[in-house]
Homo-oligomer: A and B are copies of this chain.
Amino acid sequence: MEKIIFYHPLREFVSQVFVRMGCPVADAALASRALLQADLRGIDSHGVARLSGYVRLWKANRINANPKVRVVHESPSTVVVDGDRGLGLTVAPQAMDLAIKKAQTAGTGWAAIRNSNHFGIAAYHAMKALEHDMIGIAMTNASPLVAPTFAVERMLGTNPICVAIPAGEQPPFVADFATSAAANGKLEILQRKNEEAPTGWIQNKKGEPSANPHELKTGGALLPLGGDRERGGHKGFCLGAWVDIFSAVLSGANYGPWVPPFVDFLAPPANPVGEGIGHFLGAMRIDAFRPSQEFKQQMDRWITRFRQTQTIDGVHAITIPGDPEREFEKERLARGIPLLPKVADDLQQLSSEMNIKLW
């Protein structure tokens, strides 16, 4: 049975877990906020469900809980950050702050980050720009699960992109999506429900279309956004490759098949080509392009017009990117966050092991 826990006590728990790992208190608070943003926004695969994974990687000495994050290169609008093997959950926000600072003077600011770890959901980082009247961009590479068009080998992660754009009276436009046809979290849901996947999501180890959500355990792969070649899968490959190059080749992180796995039971590839995983973040000041109020009025008009799009059944309204996640956030802040039994058990185990009160 599902367990329900409220946001604030859960965040307190997560924060204490990070402190127990050796994170400074401020870092732990930041990391817990970043991680739980996923649970609030309904991206259950990227939130507390991963907490024990972070702990295991830390135990395996693959996460540095107290990193010295440093700037290794910069220009008026760019900065390259070495995350010192820290949690992406704390490294990326620091890098985003630097990008925002660059944007304040240069109009735009761009941060390439190496030597980091998973940063939670991209939206958390991109959305930091909104409160500064800036557009935010966040992308990250990840360990390889996606096969390029015509390939049987997994070469790219699900490499998400988020673009967050402020509006006026309307809520912001926040598009956050994996560049694969489906995120791995979607497969996990199907596995739990014992359901088949739609065609176009997965291939088996021979490269044949498959509906088996367990296929990745036996050499299968996710397909890029678009699916097969005929339906534009090569464009999804382009997108994933773009994210990989910006996140890792610009920064000096590992790319493609060299990106280290997020799980402690798989060793990082031998002969790394860079350090850790990479992210790429950007902030663009609205008024570096046009007066902020003018822009926001037009964004309101854009959003309002798209909401009025004539729909197939004439009933359902078109979803503006960010709408579903906002609904989740409202609901879950009010009524609590539902935890799957396996996730609740995981947290219970951490609670006992670290002697931190959970319920």
Which residues of A are interface residues toward B (Cβ below 8 A)? 73-78, 80, 105-108, 110, 112, 148-153, 155, 163, 165, 173, 175, 177-179, 181-182, 198-201, 206-207, 225-227, 230-232, 234-239, 241-242, 244-245, 249-252, 255-257, 273-274, 284-286, 288-290, 295, 298-299, 301-302, 305-306, 309-313, 316, 318-319, 321
Alpha-carbon gap, A227 to B201, bound state (A) = 12
Nearest residue, chain B, Cβ from A147: B309
Determine whether the beta carbon of B181 is less than 8 Å from that of A231: yes
Nearest residue, chain B, Cβ from A200: B231
Q: Given A151-B311, A249-B299, A312-B152, are A289 and B73 neighbors across the interface (CB < 8 Å)?
A: yes
CB distance from A62 to the nearest CB of B (A): 22
CB distance from A254 to the nearest CB of B (A): 10
- Between A77, A306, A318, the greatest number of chain B beta carbons within 10 A of the residue's beta carbon is seen for A77
CB distance from A81 to the nearest CB of B (A): 11
Determine whether the beta carbon of B173 is less than 8 Å from that of A289: no
Residues of chain B contacted by A318 (CB below 8 angstroms):
148-151
Determine whether the beta carbon of A165 is less than 8 Å from that of B245: yes
Contact among B106, B232, B239 with A182 in the assembled complex (CB-CB below 8 Å)? B232
Residues of chain B contacted by A200 (CB below 8 angstroms):
227, 230-231
Determine whether the beta carbon of B150 is less than 8 Å from that of A316: yes
Nearest residue, chain B, Cβ from A285: B75
Determine whether the beta carbon of B290 is less than 8 Å from that of A256: no
Residues of chain B contacted by A207 (CB below 8 angstroms):
311-312
Determine whether the beta carbon of A241 is less than 8 Å from that of B173: yes
Jot down 7 A-B pairs with beta carbons below 8 A, ordered by A: A74-B288, A78-B108, A108-B110, A151-B318, A207-B312, A249-B298, A273-B301
Alpha-carbon gap, A106 to B311, bound state (A) = 45
Nearest residue, chain B, Cβ from A175: B238
Nearest residue, chain B, Cβ from A322: B238
Residues of chain B contacted by A179 (CB below 8 angstroms):
235
Nearest residue, chain B, Cβ from A110: B108
CB distance from A92 to the nearest CB of B (A): 17
Determine whether the beta carbon of A77 is less than 8 Å from that of B108: yes
Residues of chain B contacted by A289 (CB below 8 angstroms):
73, 78, 80, 112, 250-251
Residues of chain B contacted by A110 (CB below 8 angstroms):
107-108, 284
Residues of chain B contacted by A225 (CB below 8 angstroms):
225-226, 232, 235-236
Determine whether the beta carbon of A256 is less than 8 Å from that of B299: no
Nearest residue, chain B, Cβ from A176: B238
Nearest residue, chain B, Cβ from A301: B273
Contact among B77, B152, B239 with A77 in the assembled complex (CB-CB below 8 Å)? B77
Residues of chain B contacted by A80 (CB below 8 angstroms):
289-290
Determine whether the beta carbon of B290 is less than 8 Å from that of A151: no
Determine whether the beta carbon of A302 is less than 8 Å from that of B231: no
Determine whether the beta carbon of A245 is less than 8 Å from that of B302: yes
Alpha-carbon gap, A246 to B345, bound state (A) = 45
CB distance from A312 to the nearest CB of B (A): 4
Q: Given A78-B108, A108-B78, A155-B309, are A250 and B295 neighbors across the interface (CB < 8 Å)?
A: yes
